Every structure is written in structure tokens, then in C-alpha cells.
Chain A
Amino acid sequence: MVRQGSWGLTSSLMLAYLLTLVPLPHWLDPLRPYWVALVMVYWHLEVNRLNHLGQAFVMGLILDVLTGSLLGQHALGLVIINFLVSRFRSRIRFFPAWQQAIAVGALLFNDRIVQLWIIGLLDRGWPSWSWWLPPLIGIAVWPWLFLLLDAARHRQRQLS
């Protein structure tokens, strides 16, 4: 397979980082989906890019530095997501959209549990119920993100 230019991949990742940091009103903040994970899962599932655990690790470290969380916290989360995706890729890929969204949601829920474990070890206080909202938003966002990135990818392919 001929590798497409990394332009789309890099820009979508940059956008994911920006969306993670962009300030939101106070009540919207807990609803922010895990953008970096969503974008990573898309590229992994559909194009089999970003499929290496090391890549997930580095992406997580960048996220840790940007958000000021403990170094390695998001890295661990993304590595686990990446591992699970590569394990179940051949199955999830051919699911219908709604089923795929739920599978992605399950990955994100699992990640929330991992993060909760880390926060619990750090003694940072128990998060409120809104802790569990981002995976739900992630499920809702996934099909649209999927369509958007797919469209962008096909357009790019036609252009080149």
C-alpha cells in the first residue's frame, strides 16, 4: 500500500490537541471528549496508521505536558487504548457505524477507569459523576468524526 502523505494525519492530530486545550465555559468543560484518543483510534482502525504502541506513548506524553497532568498519565491511557484497538481491529472495522461507536465508547470507558485508578493513587480526590460523561460524548461524536476524517482523506487522495 502506498503511504499517503502524513499531512492529514498531522493536521488532525494538531487539531485534536488544540481542541483539548481550548477554553470552554465552565459548565461545558466536563463534557469535553477525549479528542486525541478519538483521532488516534480513527487512524488506527481505518488506515492502520498510528498503530505502534510507541507512537501512542509519545502522543500521550505530549498531552501530559500540554495539560499539566502527571507525566505518563495520558501516555499509559493511550498505550492501553492502542493495544486494545490492535487486538480487536479486524472485528471493530467491519461493525456498522452504531456498533463501532459503542465499541469506541467501551474503549473510552476503560480508559476512564485507568485514569480513575491513577487519580486515586495520587490522592487527588474523588471525581464527581460528570467524570463518566466524556465517553458518552465520545460515542455521540464518533460517527461524525469518522465521516469528517473519511471525507477529508478521500478528498486528499483525489487531489494527489
Chain B
Amino acid sequence: MDLRSVASGTARLIFYTLLAIVLMALDFRGRYVDQLQQLAGQLAEPLVLVIDWPFDRLQQASAFFGERTAMVERVEQLEQALLEARAGIQVVDDLAQENTRLRTLLNLREQIQAPTLVAELAAIDLDPFAHRIVVKRGQRHGVRIGMPVMDATGVVGQVEYVHMNTARVILLSDPDHALPVQVLPGGERTIAYGTGTLNQLRLNDLPMNSAVEQEQLVVTSGLGGQFPAGLVVGRVLDIERVPGQPFATASVQALSAMGRNRQVLILQQAPATPNDVDSDASTSDQDTASDEGINPRVEPRASSEQPLQQARATDADLEGAR
């Protein structure tokens, strides 16, 4: 190998390294390559479905040839679970009606139940550090970017890219994800950030005198309009008040299985329009919002932008208000 070829090889290495680094920076910070990701994901979709196909068939076959007695037992179990759930729902229905009456009495906007879509996970293994899952429902089934995804126990994440038959979901635990939440029973509002560890979230900007305690329930606050209010997110593991720091931080254990189960639920709600959120926030949430320092009128401006960046903008507003 003579000197010139070595030099040109090194030059090419530097060129491609820089190209890769620029791409990573664009993808991570600015989401400038969203279009590219969308297109590439669409092209890669057939491969995902090809890999998934035999596993899908296998599962169907095993269900088909499964033992009859086991099946009957399972049906019985499910029926019992359904019965119990129904009984619970009746109580909830009653409460919901009461809630509607009270809301009309108070002249508040009625809360609309969003239709849901059950989605099966595609049987492929993604990069464990990516905090993404792929579900087998796409544009054809009415999935749109930004729709909340949950399972039976809590919020899982939201739709990031939609392709024809599949969609990619970003999990709450991704460090790039921020979710406006409320800690019950105090009702304190804050933002839950992903930590990069599955099932772990972090509340970074609680006031030092915050009433948040261990074991308290964290639910979505509905601010930002991306997620409906009141969905279960997790439980507070512990709260830390470091002297000298401006904010207290708490770690939260997410309650959902984060896509390790086979099925998730996609809430098909249209992301709220700015006016929508504004009227709701300014009427119903005024009292809590003002003493928290969140200005509800600043909030909706962000929600018309990119769904994932909206939470970040909220955070900036929140800090600005303080």
C-alpha cells in the first residue's frame, strides 16, 4: 500500500465519520431528518412484516392446536376477569355520569372518550438502547403521529412514525421524551422525563417544598393536549432534596410493561387544537395552574408544533415562569 492510497483512505474515513456524526446530531437534536426517517421506515416495513410473519403464524398454529382443556380453562378465567371488570365499570360509569352532570353545572367542556385501537407488537427485536417498539397498526388503520399508546396498567408512550401497516412508538423511558404529569393526591404538576432505563422516569423540577412523597400516584395532567388527563403513568419511588440545588428531583417507577407485553392500546384522539386546550386550561385548571407557576396560556402555543418537542417547550415556559 503506497502512501497516497493510505492518505486517501484516511481522508475517506474522516469524511464518512463526519457524515455519520452530523447525521446523528441532526437526528438527535433537531429531528431535521424526520422526512428521511419516515421514508426509510416505509421502505423497511416489508422486511419487518416478513420477519414477523412466521412468528405470527406459529402463534396462530399453537393456538389452533392448543389443548382443549387448557383453552376451556383460559376462557373461563377470562370470563371471570371480564365479569369483575364489568362490575368495576358500572361503578365508574356512575361516576362518569355524575362527573358529566357536575361539569355541565359548572359550565365546563365535556370530556370526550377517545376511541381506542388494539395493536399487536411486531415480533422483531430493536436496539435495546433505542426505547422504541413497532406495532402492527399503521396509517391504514387510522394511526397518526402523536397518538398516545397505553396498556392495561398505564401509559407506554406515543406514536413517533407511522407507516402503511406499522407504526413506531417512542417509549416514555426514552431520554428524549417528556410528559406533562400530575402527582396525586396533591395535584402538583410537573414534567416526567425518560431516564434511558426501562420503567424509570424522573421528575426533575419539583419545588423544594413540594408535597410529593413516596408511593404517590403519577398521572398525565392533560396539559399540552397530547395525552388526555388522568392516565396512570407510575408511582413515585423516592424524592431527593439536595441542599443547594434549585429543584427537588423524584424518580418514578412506570407501571406499564413498556411494550414487553404482546398488545398495546392506541388512543385515537386528535391532538387538541390550541383553542381547545386554552379554554379548558383557563377555566378548570386556573387555580392549580397559577399557584404552580404554569401559565396555561403559554402552553398551547407549543402544542401546535412537533408533538415530541411540545413537552420540551412547556418545560422552558415552566422554568421561565419561575
- Residues on A close to B: CB < 8 A? 17-18, 20-24, 29-30, 32, 53-54, 56-57, 60-62, 65-73, 75-76, 79-80, 83, 86-87, 90, 118-119, 122-125, 127
Contact = CB atoms under 8 A, between A and B. Distances in A.
A29 B124 CA distance: 11
Contact of A83 (B9, B24, B41, B132): B9
B17 interface: yes
How many B residues are at the interface, by size bracket? 35 or more
B125 A72 contact: no
A123 B196 contact: yes
Interface of B: 1, 9, 12-13, 16-17, 19-24, 26-28, 33, 36-37, 40-41, 43-44, 47-48, 50-51, 55, 123-132, 134, 168, 175, 195-197
Contact of B33 (A24, A68, A71, A87): A71
A79 B17 contact: yes
A94 B36 CA distance: 42
Contact of A23 (B20, B36, B55): B55
Contacts of A73: 20, 24
21 contacts: A18-B50, A18-B51, A21-B48, A21-B51, A23-B55, A53-B12, A57-B20, A62-B44, A65-B37, A70-B27, A71-B27, A71-B33, A72-B21, A72-B24, A72-B27, A75-B20, A80-B17, A90-B1, A122-B129, A123-B196, A125-B195
A132 B88 CA distance: 48
Contacts of B134: 68
Given A70-B24, A70-B27, A72-B23, A79 B13 contact: yes
Nearest to A57: B16
The interface centre, meaning the residue of A22, A29, A124 with most chain B CB atoms within 10 A of its CB, is A124
Given A69-B130, A76-B17, A125-B195, A23 B28 contact: no
B40 A65 contact: yes
A21 B129 contact: no
Contact of B21 (A53, A68, A76, A87): A76
A69 B196 contact: no
Nearest to A118: B24
Nearest to A72: B23
A22 B124 contact: yes
Nearest to A86: B9
A56 B48 CA distance: 22
Contacts of B196: 122-125
Nearest to A125: B196
A66 B12 CA distance: 25
B24 A76 contact: yes
A20 B195 CA distance: 25
A125 B131 CA distance: 12
Q: Which 7 interchain pairs have the tightest Cβ spacing?
A: A72-B23, A125-B196, A76-B20, A68-B132, A72-B20, A69-B127, A72-B24
Contacts of B197: 125
A71 B39 CA distance: 13
A70 B28 contact: yes
Nearest to B198: A125
The interface centre, meaning the residue of A56, A73, A119 with most chain B CB atoms within 10 A of its CB, is A73
A66 B129 contact: no
Contacts of A60: 20
A71 B37 contact: yes
A54 to B, nearest CB: 7
Nearest to A20: B125
A90 B1 CA distance: 10
A44 B37 CA distance: 29
A68 B24 contact: no
B16 A68 contact: no
Contacts of A17: 47
A22 B20 CA distance: 26
B175 A124 contact: yes
Given A20-B125, A65-B44, A71-B23, 15 more contacts: A17-B47, A18-B47, A21-B48, A21-B124, A21-B126, A30-B128, A66-B44, A70-B24, A71-B26, A72-B20, A72-B27, A76-B17, A79-B20, A123-B175, A124-B175
A18 B47 CA distance: 8
Contacts of A69: 126-127, 129-130
Contacts of B13: 53, 79-80, 83
